[in-house]
Structure formats: structure tokens, C-alpha cells
Structure 1
Amino acid sequence: MSRYTADSKDRVVDAVDMISLVSGKTELRRAGVNSYFGRCPFHEERTGSFHVRPEEKHYHCFGCQESGDPFDFVMNTEGLDFRGALETLAERFGVTLEVEDEDPLAKARRERRDRLHDLLDRAAAYYARYLWESAEAAGARDYLARRGLTEETLRTYRVGYAPSAWDKMLLGSRQAGFSEEELLATGLAQRSKQRRGSLYDRFRERIMFPLANARGKVVGFGARAMRDNQPPKYLNTSEGEVFHKGSQLFGIDIARRAAARAGSIVLAEGYTDVLALHQAGVQNAVGVMGTSLTEEQARELERTARTLLLALDADRAGQEAMVRASRIAAGRRLELRVVGLPEGKDPADLIQEEGPDAVRERVARSVPFVAFHVDKILTGSDLGDAEAKDRAIAELRPVLGPVPPSVLREELIRRIAGRLDLSDQLAATLLEQSAEETASQQAQFAQQAGQQAAAAADSYDPGPAPPSYDDGPGVDDESAYYAAMADMPPAAPAAPPRAVLDRRARTERTFLALCVALPREGAAALAQLDPQTHLTSDIARRAAAHLAAAGRLEGPMDGLPADDPDLEQYVFDLVRRASAGSGAVSASLEHARLMIELAHLERGIAAARAAGSGGVTELKREEGRVRGELRRLGEQIQSSG
């Protein structure tokens, strides 16, 4: 891709009217020479703490600490990368950008791409004009009106209509100086198989939805048939030089500013869903166009906002699409939430039936994806017997595993316990166990059961009291006893199981995941610990050292050493757990830090006693202080829940 000259960037900065640029997002008032104040467009506030110095082309918020130049402002308010911000500002303030010396091939590719975009933009304008001015499009106008879509909304999205004649686009484009090859490259025309390869319009007698990139350049079209005997119902531009369906999001050019301002973006399925949501006031909506979310689309969404609200159809296909979307979003800085829709209703239907206020309220009541996923598993499981409940627990365990200690996690455990008719404590214990721990416990219980049976045969003891087991945290004696007495085959010799994290290592992993989930608080919490002495796991120490570097908590996967795949996998797991833990709160992070501090003190006390050295009294005093903080924090978390 060609690069713009440094002089071009300087000329853009010189041309920018900072007051005009910022005033489009917030009202400014003069407060002295070269000084303006207003309410910050990046966070909610009642009094203006957002300061603009137009001569220096700089802004700074004294409330949220956001600051930068014109490029930063456009990137943060419109969801663009630097190149997009540069091109947007150049276009807005009339600056012609010059590219650095290009080789002839690169220049030819750029000029060709510009021509193809020009042809597609002309086609979109023609289709839009034909929708509103032609008698032939009356049926399309009636259909769109019945869907509740206003002319203002349709014009905003440049919705149009392709005439039924086979050569309207072909003739008009030729007259404008475009070649047949360019018409084929943009997908506006195709060759006939019957008429010796002659060209004809690809789109005819269809409602046309222009598909644009983030900067509003048309790259292709989605077209809806107007007749029942006109398959397919939806026809897209064919894959080519400028159109790639897997990277396209319908309406991203219109939604990106509202999404950047709100910090969230709503993902719907179809074109009319997006138009209806926009018309209802949900202007940060985009469409995935009936396909599964792709990596390219996820990258575009991540650049635009940090929270992704899934408003896909509530049928089985839509629910599966949401689960697939969660896999694509894993490891990205995207918090997934789900907008609850009645089964069989899409957003456009719902707006017509319930009105825009009800749909906006549904968007506002979105739930974390993990809560949706838990409900999906519970609803789809047959919970009629103990084995079915075990299967449900096994399916729920990896879903709940990445969620750090939080109010959300406790609520989900209570919900699961209620549906499975278990105590909260037993449900939490079963969900906490890894598959290896479960298999290990079952083998141990089976061995103990065999020993008890042998002892009973020798002594003819009619009924021993339930034994007391100490098999790990959270396993109560009663559940251990009944598991031991279950009719299980003896454990066969097997290869040693994979290493299982002990409680200490799990606490350290939880702490680091919370640091990633809450970067600002996490940096402060990490600074209070010495990884080499406070952490017991070597991999956790290496991860803590990596994350403690400046800025790493904002980009945990950045700067990982290429020769340490174990560290890369561990950090990826932290990011996955952090992204799933939408309920993470500062109190949970502080609780995890104090638990690590307490374990460190207990090790210090044991070491001092074994060595017979002094300092035990001071360490015990510090231990009491930490325990007191943990109690107060536990009461605080409980009262807030």
C-alpha cells in the first residue's frame, strides 16, 4: 500500500480548523486567548472539562485524561485507523494528499482501484435515483414502506432499485467512459453463456443495498429480489478486486461514529434489520449479512468499539451463530453481550410490533455472552437424571471457567444450581474442577470404595459411618462419601495425568486475568507484588513480568518472546478469561491480590519458624492485617451483590 508524504500530513494539520472539527462532537465556549472548553465527547460529565487549544491543534480532558491532535480525535470519535483519519481530514479540509515515490506498478494499482470505486459510487447514485424517480420502482417503494422504513432512512443508506432492463447500467457506464473490463471487475455486469459472451447487467429488478467500507467508499451491492420466481432471494456482488464478503459489514460507514462515541456496536443479521435499528435510534448498528462472523469482520469491529452487542435472530441458527462469534472474538479486546429477542422475530419485525422504545430498552438490557451461553446449555439439556446433570456440568465447565471471581460468576452458579437442583456449594465445586481433577477424584474414590469393601468383608461390619475425606478445596465429606460408595469399576493403571493447577496456581492465574480485564487497576496491583517472591508458579512469574512492562496490560499479546510458546499460551489463556469476565470488578482484583499476599506471609512465617530466626511476630501481625482486609472486602462484595 502506498504511503503519503510527510509534507502531506503537515499540510493536513495546518489546514484543520480545530474548533470546527471538535464542535461537530461537542459544543465549545471560549475561555480566553487560544482556549476553549466544553463537555468531553469521550465520557459522560455534567461540567465541561474538555480543553481545546486551536493554535496548537491539541485537546485534553482533565476528567478522563484523553488528549491528542486532530488525527487522534478523528480516530477516537469515528473509529478509523491513522490512514483513514488522514484521508478523512484531507477530504474535509480540502487537502490533496501526495504519495511517496511509487513504482509504476503500485501507481497503476492505486489508480485502477480509485476508478473502480468511482464506478461503484456512480452505480449507487444511479440506483438510488431510480428508486425514487421511476414508476417501475413503485412496488419496491411500497415494500420498503410496509417494512416501516422511512424515505430519510433509505436515503441515508443510499438504498436503490435496479431496473428490469438488461443493459441500463451497461450503457450508462460506457457513456461515462468506463470499460467493459471495469464493469466485470466491479461485478456490475456479467457475460452471457447463450449470446456468445455478450455483457448484460448483473442486477435487475432488485432492491439495491450499497455495501461500503468504513470511509463510505462503495465496494459492492446486496440485492433483494422483488419476484417470487426470481432466485436467489438475495444476490451479492461476486468476489473480486474490491469486494470480499467476509470482510464486509453493512452500514459500518454510517455506524462507526455513533459506535466510537458509545463504545459499543450492535451486530444484526440483515439489511432491513440495520435500517430499522438506525431508524429506532440505535445508530451504532451494522449487519453481518447472514454469514458467520469472520476474523476480518471482528478486526473491523474491534477497531470501532470495545463492546459488541449481538442482536441476531433468536432461532437455533441465530444462537449457534452467536456461539461461533464468541470463538472468533476470543482473545480480542471485545466484550460480547447478547440482546434478547423473542424466537422467530428479527429486529425489524420487533420494531414494527413493539415500537422503537421497546427495542432500545432491549438493547440497553443486553446480558453478558457467558450468561446467554449458560442459559442456552441449560435450556437445551435434558436434566431428568443424574447422568444428564453430569453432562450439563461438563458442558458448562469450560464456559464458566474463564469467568474470574465476581458477582456475575456467583449469580451464574446460583442459576445453575437452581436448575440442576444442587446446593450452591456443590455446584461451585463441580464447576471449578478441571476434567483431570474430576477423573483423578473419581479414581481415588473408586480405590477408597474398594478398600472399604475389602475391610467390610474381613470384619463383617454392617455399616461404617461416612468417612471424612480431605480431597481438595470445596469437596464436602458427604458428597465425597456418596461418590466413594458409587458403583464404579476399579481404576485401571493409566499414564500419569497432565499437570493440574493447584489452588495457589489457580489463584495466581485468576489474579493475572483480572489484571488484564482491568488494565488500570491491574497495573497498580502488579506494582504492589514482587513476582519472584509472591508467585509460586514459574509460568505465572514470567507472565507477571511480561504484563508489568509499560502498556502491556492494554495489549497483553504484544511483545511476547518468540522462543517461549508456553508463555504465549498462558497469556492467551489470561486474555480469553479476561474477555469472558465482563463482570470483573475492582473488589475482585483486590481480593485476589490479598489472597496472594496472605499466602506469601504464611510461607514466610513457616520459613521463619523452621529456621528459628526472628521476625515471626511482625509477620503474624501483618498476616492479621491482611486477614482483616479480606474480611472487610468480603463483606463489601456481599453487600454490593
Structure 2
Amino acid sequence: MPRYRDDAKEKVRDAVDFVSLVSAKTELRRTSGSGFMGLCPFHDERTPSFSVDAAKKVFHCFGCGEQGDLFSFIELTEGVDFVGALELLADRHGIELEVEDEDPAAAERRRARDRLLELLDRTATFYERMLWEGREAVRARKYLADRGLSEATLREFRVGYAPSRWDTVFLQSQKAGFQARELYDAGLATRGRDGGRLHDYFRGRVMFPLCDVRGRVLGFGARALSPEQRPKYLNTSEKRGLFHKGSIVYGAHLARASAAKAGVVIVCEGYTDVVALRQAGVANAVASMGTALTEEQIVELGRMAPTVQLALDADDAGQDAMLRAARVAAGRRLELRVVPLPAGRDPADVVLTDGADAMRSLVARSVPFVRFRVERTLALGDLTSAEGKDRAIEALRPAFATLGASVLQEELVAMVADRLDISAELARRLLYARSGGDGESRPVAAPAGRGVNGGDGDGDPGPEEPRGGLGAGAGRSPRGVDRRTATERWFLALCIALPDTGGAHLADIDPEKHFTDALNRRAALWLRDHLASPLDDLPPDDDELAALIRELVARGGAQTVTAATLDVERVQLELAVVERQIARAETGQREELARRRIVLRAELDAAMERSLA
């Protein structure tokens, strides 16, 4: 890593208009001479609490406490370290950073690297010009047009075309003063099998520049245009030069700002998937450079956003890649979700045939990775025999071991029970069993499952201790009532059990927005005014409401409830509202709703920890 002169930081600071820099992430309003305020880009809020001092070039959020200078702002929004922020800003403002005295060997290595970067950038420009101006590139332009990709979007990614002649790039580069060894080291030239003269490595292919997070070209991915060309995709060699496939996330330099703003980054497999999604207005998409995500790529994705949505092909290879991604991401504070792509179609196909809205809808319907893993295990397992069911349970235990108490846990336990045709109680006991030294499975306590039916999930209930659920057994909703309705009723029962906290929650919520069931809405309105004595003066003309209130009172009176338990259910209601809003939202509203969802999930995790303490 280079050490820059001491005055480099001040040169960059002086050149940057900090208000313009921040305004790219959030709208600012002047409040004083050099003071500005806006909505914080680092947490969800409705009232501006993000303060910017244009003269001192510092920021402070009075809501979440985040603060720093312009370099800190770039580090937080672009996912780079200080040196990366310094270099990124210097690049944008045309400032040449002077390096401190360094030993001759280090200086020579740096100069050699800079030469290769210049050569690769010049070559990317040449390929791009060939694509749009070259007669030979007619077939390449048709291929890209048939994929529904516009020239404007392709130019954003600097997509190009490599001429089919053996030495076009080689000769052009030598005329520009580059040596044969530099072309070889950059991966642009190679020798024939007989060890003869150097010639162009890429010929007659569509060229996708592969860039680092600063947008510097490190290599190329080349797509064949005919079945005779092998392989279909050809990358710059990793044996020399700057290119290392496993460290690059395709499109990260273009997607970073949108991913940071949305709190979500979408991972596809192919270059054209990313281009198509960006053209469709989904600007936070990147590609994994193949199906297998590496640890370096996972780290880079984590810098971009806390939530990673995997939009990989629905075939076996794509689904296996999702499982490998989860293993690589294990232990990191990274939420993995899966976008449900139709079988045999990638994101570019969906955009081309069904339109941008269809793809955005699929992204909005992403599911937690653990749900995908459970569904896939059940789909592939032999569930026709007891032995097959036992193998499925064994395969699912690691997935359930990652689940804390939640509605999701309850839903997945119920899913397993339904597919294996066993009771929810038995499914829970088997999923949370561990194998003893004698090979026998022994039950262990499952994480408390408040879930949709309000059961405490702390083991197998005795014969005189039925789990709640307004009369339902563990893992099931009341007969004739769907899970969403049961969740809403469990919240109301807890409000009765803890009237002081419950009254505050009921005063805050909007029954029309937070409750999907009409009877539940009437119950919420009744309890808002009668929580101290909900059974008094029940309406004589609404037998349905009266019956439900009596059930809720009985249910609430049988529970030992804490404020944290009630907080969990309140956040669950808010999350359900946001999920419904995302499903109906227009394009411009989804990013704000996605940020709100991330905040709520963090609140839910914190509430669950408090409830289990």
C-alpha cells in the first residue's frame, strides 16, 4: 500500500465540495451560513437529523450518532478504507497523489503496475470504439440488442468488441509505446502452442471490462459469438498481471452507491444480468464472476451492504452455489436472501421477456436463505419412507440450529411437519435433537418459539400444558385461521396480558394498516378504548367480536409476558406492513422501504435478545 505525502490529504480536502458529495446520497437543506441538514443516509428516519458543516467538511447525525469528515463519509458509503477513500476522491477530482520516498524496487513495482493499468484502460477504450464503430462488430451489436440491452447502458459498463485479427491490439499498443512484455503481463497477448511470436489473446468476442471498486480495469471477460468458439467465456489469465477472478465483483464500482443507500446488494451470475438489471432501474446489482462466491468476494459484498440477495439461476448449479455462498458467509454479520427466479431463466431473461417490473417484483419477494435451504432439502429428499424422512431431518438440523425464536422458525417447523406428515410437536423435537455417543438422538430445548401461534417453544408440553394459539396446538394456527391472522391475534392477546405497554402500542398503531383481518381490526379498536376491562359492555350486536375478545382475554390471562416479548410482536407487525408495501411500491419508493426493512430487522433482533435474556 503506497504512503502518500503528508499534504495529500489536505489537497484532496480542499478540492472536494462536501455538500455536493453528501447530496449524492441525501438531499440537504441550508440551515445557516455553512450549515446544512438532511435525512441521515446511515439510518432510517423521517425527521432530518443529519448535520453537515460545509466549511469544516464534517458531518454528524443526532439520531444514530454517526460522525466524521469527508474521508469518513466516503469510507462509510463506499465501503473502502482511508487510503481507498483518498485515492477515490483524488481520481474523481483529477489530483495526482505524490508518493513519499520509497525504495527503488518498490517504486519500480508501482510504476510497472501503473503502466499495466494504463494499458488495460486504453485497450478497454479501443474495444468499446470497435463495438460501436467497427463493421466487423455487426454480429456483436445484434447479440447485445437481442438481449434487450441499450447502447447507453452498455457504455456505462464500457462493453466492447475484440477484432478477430491476430495482432490488432498488439500492434496498436506497440505504436502507443507499450512493450511486448507489458502486453503479455496485462493478459492481452499470448504465445501459440509452438512458443512462437506473441498475438492477441482475445479475438472476435464481446468484451466486458472487469474493474476494481474504483473502476480501474484489471482484466476482461470475453463472450463468444458462435458455437465454434471455445470456451464460451474466456477471462484474462490469472497467472500474471493484475487480474484475480476470485477477488473481483463485477459491476461493484457502479453498484456501490445504490447498494449502500438501499442496504441491499443483488448478486447475479452473468455480466448481461447486471447490465439488464441496471437498465431496468435495479442499480444495486453485481455479478459473482461465475457461480462460486469466494471469501474475498463475500468480504467485498459485506462492505457494500448488510443484506445480500442471491439472484442465481434456479438450476442445480445455481442452487449449489447458494449453499456454498452460505458456507463462505457463515459467521459474518451478513444477511443472505434468495430471489426466486423462474426455472431455466436468469435475470436478463426475465427483464427481456416479462419486463423490468416483473424482475423488481421477484427481488421484492426474496426469502431468507434458511427458508430456501429448508425448501430445497424437502424438495430433493425421499419423503415416502421413514428412513428418507429421518435423512431429511438430519440434513435440516444445521439449518434450524441457526434460527432463533421467530415467526420464521415457527413457519419452517410447520412446513417440515406438513411435508413429512408428522405433528409439529414431533417435528420440533426431532429438528432440535442431537445425537448421543451411542448414536441415539436426544432432544434438546428448541429456541423459544413465540411465532404466529404464541407458543413458548421451550420443549415438549405436558398433557396438561397445551401450547397457546387460541386453542391451536404447537406450530399450528387456529382452525380456519391463516398464520397472518393468528399472528395479529397473538399480539392483541399480549396487549391484554400487559395492558400498560399494550395500551401504548395500540395507541401507536393504525388498525387499517397493521391488521389484514377485518375482525382483528375491530378487536384492536375495541381494545384501544377498553383494555383495562375488555369484557365489560361488549357490543350486543357483534357476536363475532365478543367471542374473539373473550378468547383473547382467556389467552392473555394464561401468559407470563414481558415488555420485550410484546416488543417482538409489535416489530413483527411493522415488518409485515413494510413487506406488503414493498410488494405494491413503485420503483422510486422501494429503496426507502428496503432501508426501513433493514432497520426493523435490526430492531427485531435486539427485541428477541431482550426477550430471551
TM-score grouping bracket, smaller chain normalisation: 0.7 to 0.9
Give 2:330's aligned amino acid. A
Determine if contact 2:37/2:50 at 8 Å carries over to the other structure. yes
In the other structure, the counterpart of 2:612 is 592
In the other structure, the counterpart of 1:170 is 170
Deviation for aligned residue 1:167? 1.1
Q: What is the alpha-carbon distance in structure 2 between the residues aligned to residue 45 and residue 582 of structure 1?
A: 14
In the other structure, the counterpart of 1:63 is 63
Determine if contact 1:60/1:67 at 8 Å carries over to the other structure. yes
SS at match of 1:229: coil
Determine if contact 2:4/2:100 at 8 Å carries over to the other structure. yes
Deviation for aligned residue 1:437? 8.3
Give 1:319's aligned amino acid. Q
Determine if contact 1:298/1:329 at 8 Å carries over to the other structure. yes
Q: What is the alpha-carbon distance in structure 1 between the residues aligned to residue 442 and residue 278 of structure 2?
A: 55
Partner residue of 2:460 out of 470, 474, 477: 474
SS at match of 1:137: helix
In the other structure, the counterpart of 1:212 is 211
SS at match of 1:51: strand
| 1:24 and 2:3 are equivalent in the alignment | no
Write the deviation string for residues 94-150 of structure 1: whole angstroms up to 9, x where unpaired.
Answer: 433222321111111111101100000000000001100111111111110010001
In the other structure, the counterpart of 1:120 is 120
Deviation for aligned residue 1:25? 2.3
Determine if contact 2:187/2:241 at 8 Å carries over to the other structure. no
SS at match of 2:203: coil
Give 1:282's aligned amino acid. V
Write the deviation string for residues 363-392 of structure 1: whole angstroms up to 9, x where unpaired.
Answer: 111111000000000111111122211111
Q: What is the alpha-carbon distance in structure 1 between the residues aligned to residue 610 and residue 375 of structure 2?
A: 29
Give 2:336's aligned amino acid. L
Matches within 5 A, 1:344-363: 344-363=344-363
| 1:188 and 2:188 are equivalent in the alignment | yes
Determine if contact 2:436/2:442 at 8 Å carries over to the other structure. no
Q: What is the alpha-carbon distance in structure 2 between the residues aligned to residue 159 and residue 54 of structure 1?
A: 38
**Paired-residue identity, %:** 56
Of 147-156 and 31-40, the range deviating more from structure 2: 31-40
Of 296-305 and 583-592, the range deviating more from structure 2: 583-592
Indicate how the Cα distance of structure 1 residues 440 and 193 shifts in structure 2: closer, same or farther if over 3 A, else same: closer
Indicate how the Cα distance of structure 1 residues 175 and 368 shifts in structure 2: closer, same or farther if over 3 A, else same: same
- Count residues with an aligned counterpart: 462
Indicate how the Cα distance of structure 1 residues 441 and 52 shifts in structure 2: closer, same or farther if over 3 A, else same: closer
Determine if contact 1:368/1:582 at 8 Å carries over to the other structure. no
Deviation for aligned residue 1:400? 0.7
SS at match of 1:223: strand
Determine if contact 2:434/2:441 at 8 Å carries over to the other structure. no
Give 1:232's aligned amino acid. P
Write the deviation string for residues 38-62 of structure 1: whole angstroms up to 9, x where unpaired.
Answer: 2323334444322111121111222
| 1:261 and 2:241 are equivalent in the alignment | no
Q: What is the alpha-carbon distance in structure 2 between the residues aligned to residue 142 and residue 583 of structure 1?
A: 50
Deviation for aligned residue 1:10? 2.8
In the other structure, the counterpart of 1:202 is 201
Write the deviation string for residues 180-219 of structure 1: whole angstroms up to 9, x where unpaired.
Answer: 000000111111234x621111111100000000000000
In the other structure, the counterpart of 1:234 is 233
In the other structure, the counterpart of 1:152 is 152
Indicate how the Cα distance of structure 1 residues 476 and 435 shifts in structure 2: closer, same or farther if over 3 A, else same: farther
Write the deviation string for residues 529-584 of structure 1: whole angstroms up to 9, x where unpaired.
Answer: xxxxxxxxxxxxxxxxxxxxxxxxxxxxxxxxxxxxxxxxxxxxxxxxxxxx9995
In the other structure, the counterpart of 1:631 is none
Deviation for aligned residue 1:225? 1.1
Q: What is the alpha-carbon distance in structure 1 between the residues aligned to residue 442 and residue 69 of structure 2?
A: 62
Q: What is the alpha-carbon distance in structure 2 between the residues aligned to residue 334 and residue 324 of structure 1?
A: 14
| 1:398 and 2:418 are equivalent in the alignment | no
Determine if contact 1:429/1:475 at 8 Å carries over to the other structure. no
Give 2:287's aligned amino acid. G
**Structure 1 residue runs of 4+, over 6 Å off?**
475-478
In the other structure, the counterpart of 2:449 is none
Determine if contact 1:30/1:36 at 8 Å carries over to the other structure. yes
Give 2:605's aligned amino acid. V
Determine if contact 2:291/2:318 at 8 Å carries over to the other structure. no
In the other structure, the counterpart of 1:555 is none
Q: What is the alpha-carbon distance in structure 1 between the residues aligned to residue 441 and residue 305 of structure 2?
A: 44
SS at match of 2:102: coil
Q: What is the alpha-carbon distance in structure 2 between the residues aligned to residue 371 and residue 583 of structure 1?
A: 21
Q: What is the alpha-carbon distance in structure 2 between the residues aligned to residue 231 and residue 582 of structure 1?
A: 48
In the other structure, the counterpart of 2:323 is 323
Determine if contact 2:136/2:163 at 8 Å carries over to the other structure. yes
In the other structure, the counterpart of 1:524 is none
Deviation for aligned residue 1:475? 7.7
Deviation for aligned residue 1:317? 0.9
Deviation for aligned residue 1:315? 0.6
Q: What is the alpha-carbon distance in structure 2 between the residues aligned to residue 127 and residue 225 of structure 1?
A: 15
Q: What is the alpha-carbon distance in structure 2 between the residues aligned to residue 303 and residue 35 of structure 1?
A: 29
Deviation for aligned residue 1:13? 2.2
In the other structure, the counterpart of 1:106 is 106
Matches within 5 A, 1:214-613: 214-239=213-238, 240-436=240-436, 439-440=439-440, 473-474=459-460, 585-593=605-613
Q: What is the alpha-carbon distance in structure 1 between the residues aligned to residue 96 and residue 162 of structure 2?
A: 34
Determine if contact 2:25/2:261 at 8 Å carries over to the other structure. no
Deviation for aligned residue 1:351? 1.1
Write the deviation string for residues 142-194 of structure 1: whole angstroms up to 9, x where unpaired.
Answer: 11001000111100000000111111101110011000000000111111234
Indicate how the Cα distance of structure 1 residues 438 and 336 shifts in structure 2: closer, same or farther if over 3 A, else same: farther
Unpaired segments ≥5 residues, structure 1: 444-471, 479-580, 594-641
Indicate how the Cα distance of structure 1 residues 419 and 198 shifts in structure 2: closer, same or farther if over 3 A, else same: same
Determine if contact 2:268/2:286 at 8 Å carries over to the other structure. yes
Indicate how the Cα distance of structure 1 residues 408 and 438 shifts in structure 2: closer, same or farther if over 3 A, else same: farther
Determine if contact 2:247/2:297 at 8 Å carries over to the other structure. yes
Give 1:413's aligned amino acid. V
Determine if contact 2:59/2:69 at 8 Å carries over to the other structure. yes
Deviation for aligned residue 1:442? 7.0
In the other structure, the counterpart of 1:38 is 38
SS at match of 1:136: helix
Q: What is the alpha-carbon distance in structure 1 between the residues aligned to residue 441 and residue 236 of structure 2?
A: 57
Deviation for aligned residue 1:4? 1.9
Of 137-146 and 5-14, the range deviating more from structure 2: 5-14
Of 403-412 and 173-182, the range deviating more from structure 2: 403-412
Q: What is the alpha-carbon distance in structure 2 between the residues aligned to residue 249 and residue 78 of structure 1?
A: 14
In the other structure, the counterpart of 1:611 is none
Unpaired segments ≥5 residues, structure 2: 444-457, 465-600
Give 1:202's aligned amino acid. Y
Determine if contact 1:2/1:106 at 8 Å carries over to the other structure. no
Give 2:212's aligned amino acid. N
Indicate how the Cα distance of structure 1 residues 476 and 387 shifts in structure 2: closer, same or farther if over 3 A, else same: farther
Matches within 5 A, 1:45-84: 45-84=45-84
Q: What is the alpha-carbon distance in structure 2 between the residues aligned to residue 161 and residue 298 of structure 1?
A: 30
Of 88-97 and 411-420, the range deviating more from structure 2: 88-97
Q: What is the alpha-carbon distance in structure 2 between the residues aligned to residue 582 and residue 391 of structure 1?
A: 34
Matches within 5 A, 1:625-640: none
SS at match of 1:226: coil
CA RMSD of aligned residues (A): 2.1
Q: What is the alpha-carbon distance in structure 1 between the residues aligned to residue 420 and residue 441 of structure 2?
A: 21
Q: What is the alpha-carbon distance in structure 2 between the residues aligned to residue 289 and residue 91 of structure 1?
A: 26
In the other structure, the counterpart of 1:559 is none
Question: Under a length normalisation based on structure 2, what TM-score does the superposition of the two structures give?
Answer: 0.72
Determine if contact 2:435/2:442 at 8 Å carries over to the other structure. no
Indicate how the Cα distance of structure 1 residues 329 and 404 shifts in structure 2: closer, same or farther if over 3 A, else same: same
SS at match of 1:36: strand
Q: What is the alpha-carbon distance in structure 2 between the residues aligned to residue 225 and residue 587 of structure 1?
A: 53
Give 1:376's aligned amino acid. R
Determine if contact 2:401/2:432 at 8 Å carries over to the other structure. yes
Q: What is the alpha-carbon distance in structure 1 between the residues aligned to residue 160 and residue 151 of structure 2?
A: 11
